[in-house]
Structure 1
Amino acid sequence: MTQQQGFSLADGGIETDLIGRLGQDLPEEASFVLLDTVEGRNALADYFRGYLDVAAEFGTPLVLDTPTWRASRDWGALLGVSAADLDETNQDAVAFVRALALEHAPGVPLTVAGVIGPRVDDYVAWERMTAAEARRYHAPQALSLAAAGADHLVGTTMFDVAEATGVALAARDARIPVVVSFSVNAAGLLEDGASIAQAIAAVDAATEAGPLCYQLNCAHPDEVRRGLGGEAVLHRIGALRLNAARADAEEDAADTPEEFSRRVLDLTAQLPEVRIIGGCCGTDSRHARSTAARFAAVERSRAGTPRS
């Protein structure tokens, strides 16, 4: 991140926080089901308010993801949700996040990111789609989120180049900007074996550099660092949504908010174009607050440094 130009805060690990801290039952880890009940909507509001409060405290713009990671056809079918109901759910999710932000923190500059998740959660090579198949599969959700007025889409937890390309093309068809977010494994690679740089270059080549930028998510900062090289395409990484624990760590060995924010700050030294910083699994608004405080301190320090 070019810290002189500021940064936007993003939210964290919505499903893990809703389950672990807020005690919600999420079948298939589908947070969109909470939109169906008053109690569920209250839990979602509790989750989002934590980030709205941090953004208001530090005066940072905020990017909030819609709770729609599972709100696509195959996951909906597992949960008995029809295509028509999924369309309504995706649109409701955008409206819910925007209305909550306007009510709770109207002064916070807000970006609503419409989330599209992977069709299959675990990487199995023979179950993967071609880019054309992914484009068709993700098209209905992209259209729903675009129609609801999401500011951009984010294809989150993409395991391979083909599905990421399909999401980017579906967004282009829906005439809405998109951020492509790759899930990185413990070796710093995508699950299809591509390096971060190879994946970015391949999606850019297939989409005429269609994504606004690329995001890395669902990995610890140390795991991401393993996958970074000196390739020129790394300037296309504009966002980080990282885990509090390494993949091989014990359950109780997650970074504290302070450790997490320090590792993320250190990582941005290798990624000067990162502008959006949030969390993923194991993070919550405490991690966001530590991140906001640490980056705000860096910006103040830089602003107060006399020019030579």
Structure 2
Amino acid sequence: MSPKLPHETGRLFLTHTGAETDLIFRRGVDLPNFASFPLLETEQGRAELEAVYRDQIMAAQGCDCVTILESPTWMANRARATPLGYEIDALHRANIASVDFVARLRDRHQDPDMVISANLGPMSDAYGPAADQSANHYHAYHAQQIGWFTQTPADMVAAYTINHIPEAIGIVCAAQDVQIPVVISFTVETDGKLPDGTLLADAIAQVDVQTSEYAAYFMINCAHPDHLDPVVTAVKRLRGLVANASRCSHEELDNATELDDGDPAELASQLADWRKRAPQINVLGGCCGTDARHLRAIARQLSG
């Protein structure tokens, strides 16, 4: 029996999409092109990845939060993995192996409530200008990776750091084709809007209209709480906030040579405040710059 997903229960969920910055800046692991999935090809790499997931699991279990384990596949789509030397067959195997890896962690911890999320990233730079492509183009493009995810124990697909509406629509349609639950997580600029100036509430509404509300729910990630528009608390379809540790803009983070890990306690307090204002938000966690310290602080604030 599959675990309940966040939109099906009022329980609190802890997730983490900051593994790459944790690995690079705190653990000294080399990640060419910011891709973590190649680590699964070596024993040392698997150990490094497992250590990051173990920190998250311990933080969640210590505070009675449900763990969402995101597969390390944010960069494992065709356009972004080809420069790393992955042909289609190898990339197919890497996606399967990545989801299987986190599923085995769930089995090892004997926690059937853990959610296995097949993590999907944008076709191109999440922080760059939106590519001039139609929703149908993105539908066809992302259908390949989503199809691979259906061959795994994934409970759902979560598309992170999506920055414009046509790609979100295409992803939802591709998931609907194979009837797998899908979550869209938009990223916003420091003004709380998508890069093209669209209000987040309007973006969610447009995706829902074009997809018959197939998405399980929506989230925000890769933004600091200070960057969010307070009006989004009224958007009932918004159920998750996965925050950056830093208040820097995406451009500033892209050009940074040192990690800005912010203040874990302050970040946790801010996320708790957002949940008070929008009680439907029950998925919280850390994105760029966060690590075990932030996750423990967030989990403590949630359980408190």
Provide the TM-score with structure 1 as the length reference: 0.89
Paired with 1:20 and 1:138, the residues of 2 have a C-alpha distance of 30
Q: Is the contact between residue 32 and residue 89 of structure 1 (CA under 8 Å) also seen in structure 2?
A: yes
How many angstroms does 1:288 deviate by?
A: 1.1
Q: Is the contact between residue 64 and residue 303 of structure 2 (CA under 8 Å) also seen in structure 1?
A: no
* Larger-gyration structure (1/2): 1
Unaligned runs of 5+ in 2: 1-5
The structure 1 residue matched to 2:154, chosen from 143, 150, 157, is 150
> Is 1:210 the counterpart of 2:211 in the alignment?
no
Instruction: Flag the 1:108–1:283 CA change in 2: closer, same or farther, 3 A.
Output: farther
Paired with 1:52 and 1:84, the residues of 2 have a C-alpha distance of 32
Over aligned residue pairs, what C-alpha RMSD do you find? 2.0
> Is 1:181 the counterpart of 2:185 in the alignment?
yes
Letter paired with 2:230: L
The structure 2 residue matched to 1:280, chosen from 269, 287, 295, is 287
> Is 1:290 the counterpart of 2:297 in the alignment?
yes
252-261 vs 40-49, greater mean Cα deviation: 252-261
Q: Is the contact between residue 221 and residue 242 of structure 2 (CA under 8 Å) also seen in structure 1?
A: yes
Unaligned runs of 5+ in 1: 298-308
Q: 3-state SS of the aligned residue for 1:148?
A: coil
Instruction: Flag the 1:139–1:205 CA change in 2: closer, same or farther, 3 A.
Output: same
Residue deviations 1:229-283 (CA, integer Å, cap 9, x gap): 2685x11001111101112589666432111100111122332211111110011
Q: Is the contact between residue 91 and residue 145 of structure 1 (CA under 8 Å) also seen in structure 2?
A: yes
Match of 1:110 in 2: 114
Match of 2:92 in 1: 87
Alignment of 1:35-46 (within 5 A): 35-46=40-51
Match of 1:76 in 2: 81
Instruction: Flag the 1:253–1:25 CA change in 2: closer, same or farther, 3 A.
Output: closer
How many angstroms does 1:93 deviate by?
A: 0.8
How many angstroms does 1:128 deviate by?
A: 3.4
Paired with 1:230 and 1:174, the residues of 2 have a C-alpha distance of 30
Match of 1:53 in 2: 58
Q: Is the contact between residue 25 and residue 259 of structure 2 (CA under 8 Å) also seen in structure 1?
A: no
Instruction: Flag the 1:69–1:214 CA change in 2: closer, same or farther, 3 A.
Output: same
Q: Is the contact between residue 12 and residue 280 of structure 1 (CA under 8 Å) also seen in structure 2?
A: yes
Paired with 1:41 and 1:229, the residues of 2 have a C-alpha distance of 41
- Give aligned pairs, total: 291
Q: Is the contact between residue 246 and residue 254 of structure 1 (CA under 8 Å) also seen in structure 2?
A: no
How many angstroms does 1:129 deviate by?
A: 2.1
Paired with 1:160 and 1:270, the residues of 2 have a C-alpha distance of 26
Alignment of 1:130-169 (within 5 A): 130-169=134-173
How many angstroms does 1:108 deviate by?
A: 6.3
Letter paired with 2:178: A
Letter paired with 1:242: A
Match of 2:3 in 1: none
Match of 2:242 in 1: 241
Q: Is the contact between residue 9 and residue 55 of structure 1 (CA under 8 Å) also seen in structure 2?
A: yes
Instruction: Flag the 1:147–1:285 CA change in 2: closer, same or farther, 3 A.
Output: same
Alignment of 1:256-271 (within 5 A): 256-271=263-278
Paired with 1:216 and 1:295, the residues of 2 have a C-alpha distance of 18
Paired with 2:276 and 2:158, the residues of 1 have a C-alpha distance of 24
Letter paired with 1:237: L
Q: Is the contact between residue 119 and residue 160 of structure 2 (CA under 8 Å) also seen in structure 1?
A: yes
Letter paired with 1:91: I
Q: 3-state SS of the aligned residue for 1:97?
A: helix
Residue deviations 1:89-140 (CA, integer Å, cap 9, x gap): 111111100112322x223621011011011114224x33211100111111
How many angstroms does 1:87 deviate by?
A: 1.2
Match of 2:230 in 1: 228
Q: Is the contact between residue 12 and residue 285 of structure 1 (CA under 8 Å) also seen in structure 2?
A: no
Q: 3-state SS of the aligned residue for 2:118?
A: strand
Q: Is the contact between residue 64 and residue 97 of structure 1 (CA under 8 Å) also seen in structure 2?
A: yes
Instruction: Flag the 1:12–1:288 CA change in 2: closer, same or farther, 3 A.
Output: farther
Letter paired with 1:244: A
